[in-house]
């Protein structure tokens, strides 16, 4: 639920930002300027063909999208695993991982799907042999919902829909799969993992059988999808090369997982006619909880309630800045111009989601927890004075 809510917030903010006329006009103006410059430069003019290749690839991706989304695409663990859209669920994940692990291991390492290469073995086994609890009613609910969605999208007469449902309603099929599978048992999964594809077939497990049933069409959709994505990647690389040639050091370098520094200032912003201050403090933290009767999601841990009187309530808690951030920057240290550590970025406001597309300091803000708040909480809430001393002064030994 948290993953779904977080993603909904992300995309709502992203779309809302793109509907801001000022932001969209800035994106269009930047693109037009680049294209016009490329078209006038004989050395770069051939790059214009990259835009056409992207357009054609995107049209092909739109055709592929239904099969790819429903049979192959899987959502990342960070937002809560759901599996391909037709078959949400933890146990289908195990079935697919088991089946594909055996199939992929038979191939040379470099020819395998990325998640089954030797370098990913530890992550694969950590996921496959997880002891996380599986709740039958929740699994049935998710499977019923996704199978219903699958049937509605492709129609009840679609041959694959018929094959997947096996002549049953989505609900009945979900119950059948859940009552017949043994994949909830970690030892069962471990035992099959070390065996052959024939052993998987001999297991007569309905979830494994289902994973095998859709694997051919799913792989076809993946192959077609990746072919078009590769066309786009190469075309974008050409455009990036031209952009760097035109804009020089005034544009961002490619993202290469190397160290990045973002500069900005601590400053509030305006939202719905109200001035949003750049800082919050502990007093506001407690006031906010009281305004909502200490009910979720504004309820405070009992430790924070009990120790309120020990805190300096004027201590600054969080602050916002116009530093340029993007998803993945959480945990980044914030330093001031004197090179002093002053906080840690952990979020952005809704308006910052447009930074995926273009920088804007109008309302977009990075949100950080202040270093003073960290040490105040360590000393007075968590009884971790020794850790606070080490953070502030360094180790004494």
Three-state SS letters, 178-224? HHHCCCCCHHHHHHHHCCCHHHHHHCCCHHHHHHHHHHHHHHHHHHH
For the sheet with 279-281, list strands across it. 279-281, 316-321, 366-370, 341-348, 333-335
Residue-by-residue pLDDT tens, the chain, 397 positions: 787 788 888 888 888 888 889 888 999 999 999 999 999 999 999 999 999 999 999 999 999 999 999 999 875 544 445 679 999 999 999 999 999 999 999 899 999 999 899 999 999 999 999 999 999 999 999 999 999 999 999 999 999 999 999 999 999 999 999 999 999 999 999 999 988 888 888 999 999 999 999 999 999 999 999 999 999 999 999 999 999 999 988 887 766 677 888 899 999 999 999 999 999 999 999 999 999 999 998 999 999 999 999 999 999 999 999 999 987 889 999 999 999 999 999 999 988 988 888 888 889 999 999 999 999 999 999 999 999 999 988 766 5
Q: What is the Cα gyration radius of the chain?
A: 26
Q: What percent of the chain has pLDDT over 90?
A: 76
Q: Class of the 269-393 domain?
A: mainly beta
What does the pLDDT read at residue 397? 57
Distance CA 221, CA 288 (A): 49
Please give the backbone phi and psi of residue 181, each rounded to the nearest 5 degrees, phi first: -80, 150
Do β-strands 333-335 and 341-348 pair in parallel, antiparallel, or remain unpaired? antiparallel
**Beta pairing partners, 334:** 343
What does the pLDDT read at residue 34? 94
**Beta pairing partners, 276:** 269
What does the pLDDT read at residue 396? 61
Which is nearest to 347 in space by CA: 331, 371, 358, 334? Answer: 331
Distance CA 280, CA 276 (A): 10
What does the pLDDT read at residue 4? 79
Distance CA 170, CA 162 (A): 11
Over residues 23-44, the pLDDT tens digits come to 889 999 999 999 999 999 999 9
What does the pLDDT read at residue 367? 97
- Domain positions in the chain are 68-227, 269-393
What does the pLDDT read at residue 336? 96
Distance CA 309, CA 241 (A): 58
What does the pLDDT read at residue 78? 41
What does the pLDDT read at residue 289? 96
């Amino acid at each position: 639920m948290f993953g779904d809510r977080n993603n909904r917030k992300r995309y709502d903010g992203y779309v809302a930002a793109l509907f801001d006329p000022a932001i969209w006009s800035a994106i269009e103006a930047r693109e037009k300027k680049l294209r016009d410059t490329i078209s006038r430069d004989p050395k770069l003019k051939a790059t214009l063909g990259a835009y056409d290749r992207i357009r054609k690839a995107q049209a092909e991706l739109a055709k592929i999208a239904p099969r790819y989304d429903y049979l192959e695409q899987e959502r990342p663990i960070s937002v809560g695993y759901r599996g391909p859209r037709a078959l949400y669920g933890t146990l289908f994940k195990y079935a697919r991982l088991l089946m594909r692990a055996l199939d992929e291991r038979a191939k040379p390492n470099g020819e395998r799907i990325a998640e089954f290469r030797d370098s990913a073995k530890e992550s694969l086994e950590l996921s496959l042999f997880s002891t996380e609890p599986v709740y039958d009613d929740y699994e049935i609910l998710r499977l019923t919902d996704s199978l219903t969605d699958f049937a509605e999208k492709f129609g009840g007469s679609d041959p694959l829909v018929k094959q997947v449902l096996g002549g049953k309603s989505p609900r009945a099929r979900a119950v059948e799969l859940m009552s017949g599978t043994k994949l909830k048992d970690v030892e069962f999964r471990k035992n099959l993992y070390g065996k052959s594809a024939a052993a998987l077939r001999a297991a007569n497990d309905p979830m494994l059988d289902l994973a095998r049933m859709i694997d051919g069409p799913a792989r076809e959709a993946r192959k077609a999808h990746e072919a078009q994505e590769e066309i786009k990647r190469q075309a974008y690389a050409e455009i990036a090369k031209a952009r760097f040639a035109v804009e020089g050091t005034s544009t961002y370098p490619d993202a290469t997982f190397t160290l990045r520094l973002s500069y900005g200032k601590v400053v509030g912003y305006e939202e719905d006619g109200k001035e949003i201050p750049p800082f919050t403090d502990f007093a506001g933290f407690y006031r906010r909880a009281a305004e909502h009767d200490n009910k979720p999601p504004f309820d405070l841990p009992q430790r924070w309630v009990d120790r309120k009187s020990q805190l300096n309530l004027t201590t600054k808690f969080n602050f916002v800045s116009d530093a340029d951030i993007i998803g993945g920057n959480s945990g980044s240290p914030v330093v001031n111009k004197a090179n002093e550590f002053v906080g840690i970025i952990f979020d952005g406001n809704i308006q910052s989601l447009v930074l995926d597309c273009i920088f804007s300091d109008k309302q977009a803000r990075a949100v950080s927890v202040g270093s003073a708040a960290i040490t105040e909480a360590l000393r007075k809430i968590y009884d971790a004075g020794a850790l606070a001393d080490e953070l502030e002064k360094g180790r004494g030994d």
